[in-house]
Amino acid sequence: MCKRYVSIWFRYLLTDWVAIRRPALRELPFVLAAPDHGRMVINAANRLAELQGVFPGMAAADARAIIPSLEVLDDKPGLAPKLLIRLAEWFTRYTPAVAIDLPDGLILDASGCAHLWGGEREYLRDIIVRMKSKGYYVRAAMTDTVGSAWAIARFGKIAAIIGPGEQCTALLTLPPAALRIEEDTIERLQKLGLRHINNFIGMPRNALRRRFGATFLKRLDQALGHEDEAINPVYPVVPYHERLPCIELIVTRGGIEIALMRLLETLTNRLRKEGKGMRTAIFKGFRIDGKIESLQIGTNRPSNNVQHLFRLFEINLEKMEPALGIELFLLEAPKVEDVKVIQEKLWEQTRGLDDTNLSGLLDRFAGKFGEDHIHRYLPDEHYWPERSMRHARSLTEKSSSPWKLDRPRPLQLLARPERIDVTAPIPDYPPMLFRYKGILHKIVRADGPERIEQEWWLQQGEHRDYYSVEDEQGQRYWLFRLGHYIGDKTHQWYLHGFFP
């Protein structure tokens, strides 16, 4: 497939943005200026100001001498990159690969995208019309290379769409500045009378390299397509994605569900053929007002089951607000993994954690309540109970050590033991009474002590003597005394867990 690039030049990016926010300025000449060595210097001028002879780089005082009614506004440093990032996000409706071209442009990799709009002419026309309707003055061009698209968008006076392989002819009449070369190189070319690209394009390459340097030749080769030039998209391109443009604006939930189902069917068919499944998926709706509605799901196992994935999205589908209408839907799968077929065993009634029904149930819980509410624990090699387990990274992660089942452990373990008041007779005897949160508990049954030593490699705290006790209400607790019993010393007792 032939590569096709679109360069979009926002000639008055900053002033157009200000005019959009303050419509009264659209009919007035105004500039954006910032202090520089004790004077206000113009960084950007709107079209009306330029038509009257005011340009960036001039002093604001000189500009006011030319246009007495000139509005001078404060420039905001760093505004242009932020605006371009926001515009790049909006332009993902035209292609997933959108790169910033500082200080005032965007580069789109439109390869394989134009047919969705009915052709390249309609594709480019839609971009220009939409931008102008928002208040931006733009110029755009589509060619085979980034360099030639950039040149024609800014300097071209011919058709904005250059056919495949025709960029060389389109560049011949343009000035050297169209090659994105340094100012001093441009000045040297002009002094030599080389005012257009066709004046030097046929010269020997060795002579051009000696006089103008390797960078000059590189830019020329990039524009002509003799050397590849990669772009750096603002948002990394997801290999697995599907797009669905809408003939009519979608404003109902039913229409959103139909679009989601079609995208899921198309993308899962592709994944199924490759033996893969989604781990995360993002469903986006591009609204006519420029905003993007987005929903994201995750799965415990790679899945290409359309119905299961649709149910996960359906949980939060009401959060997707169509407003005036959605014109484009996009489904991305940024995380994809191989689907592993689990071998069933005739003598086993259940597959435990390998059961796909279990992973599907957990996916639905995570979608409704959030992943933070679902935890799986594995044993960890520590003596102290609160350290003897750790969070599993996934549903399928295997444990490196077995659970210790030689002694009973409470079902609910406190993350941090809580101090309690205890009445106990003599050393190694279980407690008789304890008070927890102001309530007195009389112990009728007890088992212990079970001594758990401190971890010598950590050297934190004394040993613990644990007791499993039951009060007169039938409730069971896990208590421990910290340290040795020494004479009249006031011993510290703690509650650490609750048995079912």
Q: What pLDDT digit, counting tens, does each position of 364-390 carry? A: 767 777 777 677 778 777 777 877 777
Helix (H), strand (E) at residue 335: strand 326-338
3-state SS string for 100-128: EECCCEEEEECCCCHHHHCCHHHHHHHHH
Which residue has 């679109």 as its token pair? 6
Residues 292 and 322: their CA atoms lie apart, in Å, by 9
* Neighbouring C-beta atoms of residue 162, cutoff 10 Å: 24
pLDDT of the residue at 342: 58
Q: Which fold has domain 241-338?
A: Dna Ligase; domain 1 (3.30.1490)
Cβ distance 105 to 153 under 8 Å? yes
Would you put residue 76 in left (φ > 0), alpha (ψ -120 to 50) or beta?
beta
Q: Which of these, 352, 341, 278, lies nearest to 309 by C-alpha position? A: 278
pLDDT of the residue at 263: 95
CA atoms within 13 A on the CB side of 113: 24
Burial (CB < 10 A; 0-12, 13-18, 19+), residue 111, is middle
Buried b (16+ CB within 10 A) or exposed e, 307-343: ebbbebbbbeeeebebeebbbbbbbbbeebeebeeee
Q: Is the pTM of this model over 0.75?
A: no
Residue 274: both structure tokens together: 């490759």
Q: Which of these, 146, 145, 171, lies nearest to 158 by C-alpha position? A: 171
* Neighbouring C-beta atoms of residue 277, cutoff 10 Å: 21
* Neighbouring C-beta atoms of residue 25, cutoff 10 Å: 17
pLDDT per residue as tens digits for the range 249-261: 999 999 999 999 9
Q: Which CATH architecture has domain 5-141?
A: 3-Layer(aba) Sandwich (3.40)
pLDDT of the residue at 223: 94
Specify the 3-state DSSP secondary structure of 465: strand
Helix (H), strand (E) at residue 379: strand 377-379
Would you put residue 428 in left (φ > 0), alpha (ψ -120 to 50) or beta?
left
Specify the 3-state DSSP secondary structure of 313: helix
Strands 30-36 and 71-74: parallel
Residues 10 and 158: their CA atoms lie apart, in Å, by 19
For the chain, which residues make up each domain, given as ranges? 5-141, 241-338, 412-499
Share in percent of the chain as helix, strand, coil (round to 5): 35, 30, 35
Q: Which of these, 100, 98, 43, 105, lies nearest to 74 by C-alpha position? A: 43
Residues in the chain where the model's pLDDT stays below 50: 346-347
Residues 201 and 104: their CA atoms lie apart, in Å, by 28
pLDDT of the residue at 346: 45
Residues 279 and 297: their CA atoms lie apart, in Å, by 8
Q: What is the DSSP letter of 403?
A: -
Tell whether omega for the bond before 417 is within 30 degrees of 0, i.e. cis: no
Residues 263 and 240: their CA atoms lie apart, in Å, by 11
pLDDT of the residue at 487: 58
Give the C-alpha distances (Å, rounded to integers) separating 14 from 7, 23, 99, 372. 18, 14, 18, 42
